């Protein structure tokens, strides 16, 4: 990727989240340190499937507003996205008068589909009229008063990584000084049923790298990040959580749902993200893997990590976030991004959830206690249906080069 000049380096100055751990960042971080959440039964009607649990946002944490945008009723997904966006902008100290000049880039796949499903009613007999699913970006743009471009991307479970790449390119090219980038996804009967049908859903919990893992378990939520040029942040006199130092994309171009067992393109994405960040693999102090808990994904990703990091993999701590908040689908990459920013800025890697690790997954999952990252960068992977991969690297601010 074309590197940005020093002035156009993209730094993260604001974060916001609504997740199964509640609304707001403070609670999010403390809950991760405490071991995260547990999945619970989803209370949708007609959930005629084997796996019926999710890592659900507490009802009290789902905002009531905005209820409509452009005549379309807004479900929980766009409402959570708006709440997380406002938190991120407040966190970054972006004044209301300056928000008109902030473009929005948002990842969203099933998005507002929950509204259609709700309108089929308790008896399932309703016939709702179709409305676009990807309305969260517009709801966010409207709520913050943005007058700049409003981009919605839908790359399934890698949408967040792709949104970050677009946002990074906007900053690096000088098209924008500040970008609000995020993602949101929610609870849908079709999403849960589809994964159930494909045998990719675990009826119990999300257990990445566990010997008895049986698939993923979804989580709902929204995560937002304020990305800003280093020069702009310096002018405003604000501190940055971390730098988004490198982003790379790749595609297996092979199978609709299964990862390439050789992981050639995932390895390439990781290497190119590190090269984009101008960092050698030995500068990485933590990895947030995609790690969904599906048997094949975790084994393939483990091998891919060993190809990139070699023997160092034995001493490279991984943090499997989905064991604590579930697989937030389109939002997974942004949740991983803001968690990595917190890891770097607070110099702590939360302990992983306790699992009996699969010997076929030769990675290090520290489970005893939180660790201090020994090196200044965090690598994140996101993968999706269609073989889409995105890897990105966050670099700590103020670490010795």
Partner 1 sequence: MTAPARMRVTGLGVIAPGVDRPDRALGPRSAPQPGWFEVAAALPGRGYRRLPAGCLHLLAAARAAVIDSGPRFAEVPAHRRAAIVGTNNAGAALIEEFDRTIIDLGAAELPPGRVPYMATSMFAARLAPEHLLRGFDLTTNSPAVAGLDALQSAARALAAGRASVVLAGAVEEPPSATQRSGARFAAAPVDIGAAVLVCEPEEVPAGGAAGYGCCSTYSAFVPGAGAGADPDRARAVLAGLWSRLADDGPPRRIDAVLDDSALGAAVAAWLPACAPDSEITAVPAAIGGGCLTPVRRVAGRLATPGGLTDRVAVVAASAHGHLSITDLTPAAAGPGHRTPPVDDRTTPATTKGHRS
User: Which residue of 130, 237, 311, 359 would you call a contact of partner 1, by CB under 8 A?
Assistant: 130
Least Å distance between CB 170 and partner 1?
8
User: Which residue of 25, 31, 135, 214 would you call a contact of partner 1, by CB under 8 A?
Assistant: 135
Q: How far apart (Å, rounded) are the C-alpha atoms in residues 309 and 303? A: 10
Least Å distance between CB 234 and partner 1?
19
Cα distance from N-terminal residue to C-terminal residue, the chain: 21
For residues 381 and 290, the answer to whether their CB atoms sit within 8 Å is yes
Q: Going residue by residue from 33 to 62, which x/- string records binding to partner 1, judged by CB under 8 A? A: -------------xxxxx------------
What are 105's strand-pairing partners? 151, 181
Nearest to 297 by CA among 378, 384, 355: 384
Nearest to 365 by CA among 288, 266, 263, 270: 288
Least Å distance between CB 365 and partner 1?
29
Q: What residues between 250 and 269 interact with partner 1 by CB under 8 A?
A: 250-257, 265, 268
Least Å distance between CB 57 and partner 1?
21
Q: What residues between 322 and 361 interact with partner 1 by CB under 8 A?
A: none
Strands (E), 233-341: 242-251, 284-288
User: Which residue of 87, 117, 202, 220 would you call a contact of partner 1, by CB under 8 A?
Assistant: 117
Q: List, in order, residues 6 or more apart from 134 with CB less than 8 Å away.
A: 108, 111, 112, 152, 154
**Interaction of residue 216 with partner 1, rule CB under 8 A:** no
User: Which residue of 109, 220, 243, 358 would you call a contact of partner 1, by CB under 8 A?
Assistant: 109
Q: List, in order, residues 6 or more apart from 156 with CB less than 8 Å away.
A: 109, 329, 330, 384, 385, 386, 388
**Interaction of residue 386 with partner 1, rule CB under 8 A:** yes
DSSP 370: -
The phi-psi region of residue 124 (left if phi > 0; otherwise alpha if psi is between -120 and 50; otherwise beta) is left
For residues 134 and 320, which CB has a smaller minimum distance to partner 1 in the complex? 134
For residues 4 and 285, which CB has a smaller minimum distance to partner 1 in the complex? 4
Q: What residues between 181 and 210 interact with partner 1 by CB under 8 A?
A: 189-194, 196-198
**Interaction of residue 30 with partner 1, rule CB under 8 A:** no
């Amino acid at each position: 990727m074309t590197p940005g000049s020093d002035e156009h380096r993209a730094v993260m100055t604001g974060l916001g989240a609504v997740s199964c751990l509640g609304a707001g960042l403070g609670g999010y971080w403390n809950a991760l340190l405490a071991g995260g959440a547990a999945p619970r039964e989803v209370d949708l009607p007609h959930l005629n499937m084997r796996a019926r649990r999710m890592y659900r946002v507490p009802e009290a944490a789902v905002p009531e507003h905005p209820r409509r945008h452009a005549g379309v009723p807004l479900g929980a997904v766009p409402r959570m996205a708006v709440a997380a966006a406002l938190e991120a902008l407040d966190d970054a100290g972006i004044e209301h008068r300056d928000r008109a000049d902030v473009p929005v880039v948002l990842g969203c796949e099933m998005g507002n589909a929950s509204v259609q499903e709700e309108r089929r009613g308790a008896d399932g007999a309703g016939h709702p009229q179709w409305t676009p699913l990807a309305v969260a970006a517009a709801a966010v743009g409207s709520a913050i008063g943005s007058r700049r471009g409003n981009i919605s991307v839908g790359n399934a479970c890698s949408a967040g990584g792709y949104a970050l790449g677009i946002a990074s390119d906007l900053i690096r090219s000088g098209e924008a000084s500040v970008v609000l980038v995020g993602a949101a996804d929610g609870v849908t009967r079709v999403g849960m049923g589809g994964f159930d049908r494909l045998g990719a859903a675990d009826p119990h919990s999300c257990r990445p790298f566990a010997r008895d893992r049986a698939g993923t378990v979804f989580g709902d939520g929204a995560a937002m990040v304020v990305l800003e040029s280093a020069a702009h942040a310096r002018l405003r006199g604000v501190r940055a959580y971390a730098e988004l130092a490198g982003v790379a994309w790749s595609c297996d171009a092979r199978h609709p749902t299964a990862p390439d067992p050789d992981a050639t393109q995932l390895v390439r994405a990781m290497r190119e993200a590190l090269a984009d960040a101008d960092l050698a693999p030995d500068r990485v102090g933590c990895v947030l893997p995609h790690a969904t808990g599906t048997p094949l994904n975790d084994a393939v990703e483990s091998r891919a990590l060993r190809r990139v990091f070699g023997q160092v993999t034995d001493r490279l701590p991984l943090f499997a976030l989905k064991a604590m908040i579930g697989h937030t689908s389109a939002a997974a990459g942004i949740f991983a991004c803001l968690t990595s920013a917190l890891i770097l800025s607070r110099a702590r890697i939360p302990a992983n959830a306790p699992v009996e690790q699969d010997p076929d997954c030769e990675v290090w999952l520290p489970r005893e206690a939180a660790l201090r990252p020994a090196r200044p960068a965090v690598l994140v992977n996101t993968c999706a249906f269609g073989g889409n991969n995105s890897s990105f690297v966050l670099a700590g601010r103020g670490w010795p080069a």
